[in-house]
Amino acid sequence: MHDDVKPVVVISKCLEHDACRWNGLMINSITIRRMKPHVDFIPVCPEVEIGLGVPRKPIRIVKQQNENRLIQSETGKDISRIMHEFIDVFLARLPAIDGFLLKERSPSCGYRDVKIYPPGQKVSPITTKGSGFFGLTAAERFPNKALETEGRLNNFRLREHFLTRLFTLARFRKITHTKAIRDLIEFHAAHKYLLMAYNQTQLKRLGSLVANHDKKPLQLVISEYGKELIKALSTAPSFKGHINVLLHAFGYFSPRLTAQEKAFFLETLESYRSNRQPLSTCTTLLYSWIVRFSNKYLRTQTYFSPYPHDLTEITDSGKGRNH
Ligand code: SF4
């Protein structure tokens, strides 16, 4: 399912790629290290690209007359214009991509929680928080791509959601230039359970687009499908969404299971519902029955492995985990 798809991701270069931070350091991330064999990363360090060098004096965002400016605090040098110019050219020249993985809280790369200072003093209290220059423009120009910051990948739920979106969007990108509706039908069929977990309303909408009762041209159908797919994947699935899918899949096997096996599955489901077991406990159990009963249909469902297995980690920052 994943061997033939490698998402293309723009990544802040200081994340596992180069010691290019202002202080000459690199950020280590086990998740990003594990992603390397499965993802085509496009590393970029906007601050180095505009000639600031390594190491360099730190920069920060300063709000001046209602406008965010990028300022080197020690020298007072305003590098906003040169940064904007670099970002415009870089983003315009990108090949087809599936997402962004950015350094959090950076005045250049950060997307959220970036400190914004009032004008004037070198040492001053933060006025507010917002996005960095590169992070903001990337999100505005590529609203339909998976975008995440590295710190949030420590949260199990956010990491799983990001990886699922990323690999699903990459699989979809592979068929966007197809000449055969069959490819779209197969994509939709393979993602049925995944979409059911994410958003049932969108699943129906996507199903009716694939049915194409209005006989629209294929490229139009694919373009509309892409927009609705992104909406479907915009919010991580709820417990309820997952439990619905797990029970659906269980329905395939329950007539052939012993009373003890059924009871064990329902207990495991209850443990997941009450946050005592990860989702993977339920999906692994179901997958063992997919193999045992040679269920070809469920075996094709991306729900059971939306991204490569060796990216599955159950470690969590403990912040906000809810499945
Ligand atoms: S956060 Fe962005 S600009 Fe800063 S060092 Fe990393 S890649 Fe370079």
Residue reference for tokens 């959220």? 112
Helices 181-190 & 200-211 angle (0-180, nearest 10): 160
Closest-lying ligand 1 atom to the alpha carbon of residue 110: 1
Predicted confidence (pLDDT) per residue in 197-227, tens digit: 999 999 999 999 999 999 999 999 999 999 9
Cα 1 to averaged position of ligand 1 atoms, centre (Å):
33
Pocket test for ligand 1, best of 32, 44, 45, 101 (most atoms within 8 A of CB): 45
Predicted confidence (pLDDT) per residue in 154-163, tens digit: 988 899 999 9
Predicted confidence (pLDDT) per residue in 16-36, tens digit: 999 999 999 999 999 999 999
> In sequence order, what are the beta bridge partners of 70?
61
In this predicted structure, the answer to whether residue 176 has a pLDDT above a threshold of 70 is yes
Q: What per-residue confidence (pLDDT) applies to 274?
A: 92
In this structure, are residues 3 and 9 in contact, taking their beta carbons and an 8 Å threshold? Answer: no
For the chain, what are the domain ranges? 8-154, 168-323
In this structure, are residues 163 and 194 in contact, taking their beta carbons and an 8 Å threshold? Answer: no
Q: What per-residue confidence (pLDDT) applies to 1?
A: 54
Cα 48 to averaged position of ligand 1 atoms, centre (Å):
8
Q: What per-residue confidence (pLDDT) applies to 106?
A: 97
CA gap 203, 198 in Å, rounded: 8
Cα 120 to averaged position of ligand 1 atoms, centre (Å):
25
Q: What per-residue confidence (pLDDT) applies to 145?
A: 94
Which residues contact ligand 1 via a Cβ below 6 A?
A: 12-14, 20-21, 45-47, 103, 106, 108-109
Cα 115 to averaged position of ligand 1 atoms, centre (Å):
15
